[in-house]
Chain A
Amino acid sequence: MSTGSFNQEILRLIEESRLLRREISALRSMLTEVEEALRLLNKIGWKRRFFRALAGLLIEIPPEEAKEYLSERKEVLETRLKSLEERERKVRSMLSRALKAVPETS
């Protein structure tokens, strides 16, 4: 591979790594929010009226549905986060290999 294509590849990996970092940070913040909501509701109790925000509306839902909704959302966010973190590890290792390879070719 020429130095030019190596540089292109490195820039692509740096950009991907940056985007992944941003997405991971946003997901972590959403996950913290859901975990905080679960912690709060476990503390104050689930026997109350719940409303879910959908397209600008607040729709009343039963407590069981609220519990299910938060647990599912937590699970989805955790799975997505795990997969992105895995991808980030791969990208970082690819980037590190690419950076090591540059001096050999130039």
Chain B
Amino acid sequence: MVEKAKEVRNHERLLTLQDELRSLIAQAEYLRDQIDAVTTTIQDLASVIETLSYLEKRGEGKTVLLPLGAGNYIRAKIEKVDTVIMGVGGRLSIEASIKEAKDMLGERVKVLEQLRLDLLKKLEEINRRINEILPQVEELAKQEQGQ
């Protein structure tokens, strides 16, 4: 009787832990996707900052190839490098000086880097919890198979 009650308790515990494990794995996958998306955006922004720095110093009068689509380009000359048109969100763009644009982009990078760190911390916590409950699930499943 006591043995049976213990079996039921163990089975319920196993189901609860399996549920938690599934939920944690889903959360970890979601966080990994978010971290990847944030990392890609940081890389894009860093690349724009680098391009702006180059254009600011050496861009004036340079010939560039303007993409027309489907791998076709047309030659164009950079007339002015003192300002840039940058998107601010909500389908709106503004004209800003290169310094202003670089500052704003740098600010965005800082915010995103902090966000990335927070997400990584959360992922670490979730992984720690997964590593905690995984052996318990394995042990309970083994016990159940042995019964």
- Taking beta carbons and an 8 Å cutoff, which residues of A are in contact with B? 30, 33-34, 36-37, 40-41, 44, 48-54, 58, 66, 69-70, 73
Contacts and interface: CB of A to CB of B under 8 A. Distances in A.
A53 B104 contact: no
Determine the main DSSP class of A at the interface with B. Answer: helix
B85 interface: yes
Determine the main DSSP class of B at the interface with A. Answer: strand
A73 B104 CA distance: 23
Contacts, number: 48
B95 A49 contact: yes
B96 A41 contact: no
B100 interface: yes
A37 B90 contact: yes
B89 interface: yes
B89 A51 contact: no
18 contacts: A33-B89, A34-B89, A34-B90, A36-B88, A37-B88, A37-B90, A44-B96, A49-B95, A50-B92, A50-B93, A50-B94, A50-B95, A51-B95, A52-B91, A52-B92, A52-B93, A53-B93, A58-B85
